[in-house]
């Protein structure tokens, strides 16, 4: 079989392959002509980057300085956390308490009601029935713990209110941070809000709020000072019943500082 016969039998295949090879050559020369400089620059950049990866960029002194700065930041963070985060009294902490979290909470509710209502009776102050504390419909230990801490703050607030001359507590409301049940999860700062609606003289309200800044341990040793009770908002107006009294809704916060994982760790 000669070349003519081969061509006749395979000319379509040979033409297709030849055309493809020609297109490849044209594309190759076009790329080389247009992008050769860019490709060379990229290759040089890659080579330099590889060399840098094998070179020490920081000295031992640099690492020591960075470690010192990191330690200082951690210490500052711990100091700020201790100053801001709410510290519950031992009886309002689930750790070391016998029984289920729910039973511990209900027992604490009864004790707070008894203590606060007894004080209010002696001072002739009116409180909402049952302190507006409803039965928790959850077995979630984290949720119960947060409500227990809010109960601790509530007792301190109410005791200080009655002792400051507040004659009527209209309502009480506890709300966990919305992020607690959100899909995105909790942030670094979590706030449980405790709102108290009262009616009293302006003097009693001022005395109450001042006491909340430097409160004494309710029912305990007056010499033992507790942390300040942070206020989120105050809504005050003249009371409709008496012109010499004000109605004030004060919202306190139980601040909780959560550990947030580094984003690099989460991605890993």
Percent of the chain with pLDDT over 90: 38
**Mean pLDDT score, 126-138:** 90
Looking at the domain assignment, is residue 17 inside a domain?
Answer: no
pLDDT at site 221 = 47
- How many whole angstroms separate alpha carbon 133 and alpha carbon 31? 76
Inform me whether the pLDDT recorded for 267 exceeds 50.
no
**Mean pLDDT score, 148-166:** 94
pLDDT at site 232 = 92
- For residue 112, count other CB atoms closer than 10 A to its CB: 21
pLDDT at site 76 = 76
Inform me whether the pLDDT recorded for 145 exceeds 90.
yes
Q: Who's near 240: CB < 8 A, 6+ residues apart?
A: 247
Percent of the chain with pLDDT over 70: 74
**Mean pLDDT score, 129-135:** 90
pLDDT at site 197 = 96
Inform me whether the pLDDT recorded for 23 exceeds 90.
no
Using one digit for the tens of pLDDT, what is the confidence trace for 158-213? Answer: 999 999 999 999 999 999 998 888 777 777 788 999 999 999 999 999 999 999 88
pLDDT at site 243 = 73
Looking at the domain assignment, is residue 93 inside a domain?
Answer: yes
Looking at the domain assignment, is residue 228 inside a domain?
Answer: yes
Inform me whether the pLDDT recorded for 103 exceeds 60.
yes
Looking at the domain assignment, is residue 159 inside a domain?
Answer: yes
Looking at the domain assignment, is residue 239 inside a domain?
Answer: yes
The total of structural domains in the chain comes to 1
**pTM to 2 decimals?**
0.67
Q: What is the CATH number of the domain that holds 157?
A: 3.30.70.60
pLDDT at site 130 = 92
Using one digit for the tens of pLDDT, what is the confidence trace for 50-99? Answer: 777 776 667 777 778 888 888 888 787 676 666 667 888 888 988 877 78
pLDDT at site 268 = 39
> Which residues, in sequence order, are bridge partners of residue 255?
191
Looking at the domain assignment, is residue 189 inside a domain?
Answer: yes
pLDDT at site 14 = 67
- How many whole angstroms separate alpha carbon 154 and alpha carbon 260? 28
Q: Which of 148, 119, 86, 126 is nearest to 218 (CA)?
A: 119
Q: Cβ distance 246 to 237 under 8 Å?
A: yes
Q: Which of 196, 134, 191, 130 is nearest to 160 (CA)?
A: 196
Average pLDDT value for the chain? 81
Give the range of the structural domain holding residue 99, as residue numbers without chain letter.
Answer: 86-257
**Residue predicted with more confidence, 97 or 156:** 156
* Backbone CA torsion sign across 6, 12, 15, 18: negative
Looking at the domain assignment, is residue 6 inside a domain?
Answer: no
Inform me whether the pLDDT recorded for 152 exceeds 90.
yes
- How many whole angstroms separate alpha carbon 143 and alpha carbon 177? 10
Looking at the domain assignment, is residue 268 inside a domain?
Answer: no
Using one digit for the tens of pLDDT, what is the confidence trace for 26-59? Answer: 766 666 665 656 667 777 788 877 777 776 667 7
pLDDT at site 180 = 84
pLDDT at site 223 = 39
**Residue predicted with more confidence, 52 or 224:** 52
Q: Cβ distance 151 to 105 under 8 Å?
A: yes
pLDDT at site 109 = 94
Q: Cβ distance 156 to 88 under 8 Å?
A: no
């Amino acid at each position: 079989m000669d070349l003519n016969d081969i061509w006749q039998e395979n000319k379509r295949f040979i033409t297709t392959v030849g055309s493809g090879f020609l297109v490849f050559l044209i594309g190759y020369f076009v790329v080389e002509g247009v992008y050769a400089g860019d490709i060379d620059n990229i290759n040089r950049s890659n080579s330099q980057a590889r060399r840098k990866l094998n070179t020490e960029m920081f000295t031992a002194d640099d690492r020591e300085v960075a470690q010192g700065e990191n330690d200082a930041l951690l210490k500052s963070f711990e100091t700020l956390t201790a100053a801001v985060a709410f510290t519950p009294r031992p009886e309002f902490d689930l750790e070391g308490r016998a029984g289920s979290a729910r039973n511990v909470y209900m027992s604490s509710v009864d004790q707070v009601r008894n203590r606060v209502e007894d004080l209010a009776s002696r001072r002739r102050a009116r409180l909402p029935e049952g302190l507006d504390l409803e039965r928790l419909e959850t077995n979630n230990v984290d949720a119960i713990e947060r409500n227990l801490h809010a109960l601790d703050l509530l007792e301190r607030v109410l005791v200080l209110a009655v002792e400051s001359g507040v004659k009527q507590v209209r309502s009480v409301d506890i709300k966990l941070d919305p992020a607690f049940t959100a899909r995105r999860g909790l942030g670094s700062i979590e706030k449980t809000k405790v709102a108290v609606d009262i009616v009293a003289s302006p003097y009693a309200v001022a005395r109450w709020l001042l006491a909340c800044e430097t409160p004494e341990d309710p029912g305990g040793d007056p010499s033992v000072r507790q942390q300040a009770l942070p206020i989120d908002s105050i809504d005050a107006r003249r009371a409709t019943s008496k012109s010499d009294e004000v109605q004030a809704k004060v919202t306190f916060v139980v601040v909780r500082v959560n550990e947030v994982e580094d984003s690099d760790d989460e991605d890993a």
